[in-house]
Chains A and B, each alone.
Chain A
Amino acid sequence: MGAFSLITDAERRVPRVVVVGLASCFGCQIQITNAEPYLMQILGQIDLQYWQLVTSEDMPDEFDVAIIEGAVTTREAEQTVRAVRERAAHVMAIGACATTAGVTGMAAPGLGGRVGEVYEGAAPESSGELIEPRPVSAVIEVDSEVLCCPIDPMDFVAALQRVLFGSNRLPDTRTLCSDCKRNETECFYNDATLCLGLVTRAGCGARCVNLGRPCNGCAGLSPDANVEAARMACATYGVDVAAFDKALEMFNQVNPALAESGDE
């Protein structure tokens, strides 16, 4: 779904927007505030009904666009996103937690045992009924995504505008190295250093590599990633293949594509 198309001209109004936070560090919601020079302009384009970070009110029952941050880690959260889906014309997932289960996803394997490690006995009731962390898209259909951990404020603004004004742009699935090459930084593989750019979705402009650090894969595994070929590349360049697989888990632990490729 591209534009804010479920609203007919007759009912056209300023779109009502809610921002929902699930299991996350709230960093992506904070990143929205980092679009500070433009915040008033953005708020002028929407009717912001609810922003979890800044209110203690309950979420309203009616809205048009729902922006969801965070992974689904409880039965309650699952119900929340289902209810959101029923009401929203457009659901946008923002940040690695919401789009890949992110860092919280690392808790998925052997979840029961981990709860015991953290709490004595069972988790307190206030934690809710814990389930294996999963991205929002594993529970409901998601219309658009803003990638990375955390999101880039201006990526968010652009994504919101696509919802408000429409866009026929398809999501990019190519992996990061092409963007990295444009920056003309040296490839980490030249000195046998692991970098996940080989399989990670392009879009961030190879931000970490620009800062001198290898890509951690926070934009998530590309649906067109060729993990087998990337393992082969690691072997060729003297990078430990097991270390590559391990590193991939940080943001892709619950990605079914990795389970299929015999990663575990």
Chain B
Amino acid sequence: MLYRVMDKRELPALVRAFMESYEVVAPVKRGSGYVFDVIGSPDEIELDYTQTDASPKKYLMPSTETLMRFDAQMNLVDDFTEQVTPRVVFGVHTCDINAMNRLDIALIEGKYVDPYYQARRDATMIIGISCVPGDNCFCHLWGADEAQFGYDLFLHDIGDKYLVSMSNVEATNILEAACEISEATDEDRIAFRQATRARQAAFNKDIPDVQDVAMLMDVFHSDPFWEELGSRCLSCSACASVCPTCFCFDIRDVLAPDGKTGERVRTWDACTSPGFAAVTGGYNFRPTGRERVRHRMYHKLNGFFVNHDRMLCVGCGRCVKACKTGINPIEVLRFFKRKGADHAK
């Protein structure tokens, strides 16, 4: 990894340089929160955001996208490649970079490659930025408070300057052309270490750090806790919509009004939706909130871990805000902590 240092005042120049050849999306203010959106000027960027309400996943896997076009009368399928906009996602936190890496595992690195996702991933540059955790953040519990890869540049805030990790030649060239950059000094390195320590100390200590979560998920699989938690699920799937790592989808054929041609469309779906696990014949193997919420937490905190050695939750805290009835991984951690305390008695 290469590191350089740039002056913070040069940030607008860097953004403008990206804007010359890319669509640049970045966190901007909307209402009382933040969203990732296309910017028209570097001034719109709010780099101090704690968390956006929804994740930048939408740039890799939009909530609705066309997979192919067909002619129902001629029974023909068109070759279809969506025009992918070359894009820079600017100001991404480590949780979301780790989330994209997990999406890669599911959608690119497995047996079957998702070509739509891959086309977008390949056309997207990720410029990361360090952050200060908010009350709902718990990325550190899953090792997602650091991004080891999955970005093109990463800007570590070290006061008046950024220590920039560079892992892509093109992004580095743009950076070098747009900004005065220098070698990191010992002073910079000390500032970096201090910033990292300050950040680590800033996590909400009320969120319990529990060991062996994946194993505990199995141990307490039949605990009444799941009924308690699941019985208050609204079946809305807001959690999955905002989650940076939920990748489930539904596929639908949509006819044009003439009834002759149409599109096959993919749209987000989620295991918290009541019909998600309904199969032919009408049987639903996750018929109630208990099974659905438990499944969601299992995929996040057990299933993916067992297969890929890391959690599918990156602790971004978005579902903590989005779920109106307080269903989220933190509640699961609290439950395990209570259980641990009970057993210690």
Contacts and interface: CB of A to CB of B under 8 A. Distances in A.
A35 B270 contact: no
A193 interface: no
The size class of the interface chain B forms with chain A is 35 or more
Interface stretch (A85-93, A107-115, A119-127, A162-170): A162-170
B209 to A, nearest CB: 26
Nearest to A157: B257
B324 A236 contact: yes
Interface string A232-252: 110011000000000000000
Given A172-B273, A181-B242, A182-B54, A199 B258 contact: no
A181 B54 contact: yes
Counting chain B CB atoms within 10 Å of each CB, which of A38, A185, A229, A232 scores highest?
A: A229
Contact of B233 (A176, A199, A226): A226
A165 B274 contact: no
A213 to B, nearest CB: 14
B12 interface: no
Nearest to B64: A182
Interface string B276-305: 001000000000010000000000000000
A229 B237 contact: no
Contacts of B115: none
Determine the main DSSP class of A at the interface with B: helix
Given A181-B238, A181-B242, A41 B275 contact: no
B275 A229 contact: no
A184 B54 contact: yes
Nearest to B243: A181
Interface string A154-183: 100110010011010111111111111110
A169 to B, nearest CB: 6
Interface in B201-238: 231-238
A161 B256 CA distance: 9
B241 A178 contact: yes
A138 interface: no
A174 B54 contact: no
Contact of B289 (A182, A222, A226): A226
A79 interface: no
Given A41-B257, A173-B274, A189 B324 contact: yes
Given A177-B234, A182-B54, A165 B257 contact: no
A178 B54 contact: no
Which of B233, B234, B258, B272 lies at the interface centre, i.e. has the most chain A CB atoms within 10 A of its CB? B234
A232 B234 CA distance: 11
Contacts of B308: none
A182 B273 contact: no
B37 to A, nearest CB: 8
B259 A165 contact: yes
A178 B255 contact: no
Contacts of A174: 235-237, 270, 272-275
Given A198-B236, A229-B233, A181 B322 contact: yes
A230 interface: yes
B238 A180 contact: yes
Contact of A175 (B58, B236, B259): B236
Contacts of B268: 178, 182
A81 B30 CA distance: 48
Contacts of A169: 252
27 contacts: A41-B259, A45-B258, A158-B255, A161-B255, A165-B259, A170-B275, A172-B275, A173-B275, A176-B236, A177-B234, A177-B237, A177-B241, A177-B322, A178-B236, A178-B237, A178-B240, A181-B241, A182-B58, A182-B241, A184-B30, A184-B53, A186-B30, A190-B32, A198-B236, A225-B235, A229-B233, A236-B325
Give the 5 A-B residue pairs with the shortest CB-CB distance, closest first.
A186-B31, A178-B237, A38-B257, A181-B241, A177-B236
Interface of B: 30-33, 35, 53-54, 58, 63, 72, 231-238, 240-242, 252-255, 257-259, 268, 270, 272-275, 278, 289, 322, 324-326
Interface of A: 35, 37-38, 41-42, 44-45, 154, 157-158, 161, 164-165, 167, 169-182, 184-187, 189-191, 197-199, 202, 222, 224-226, 228-230, 232-233, 236-237
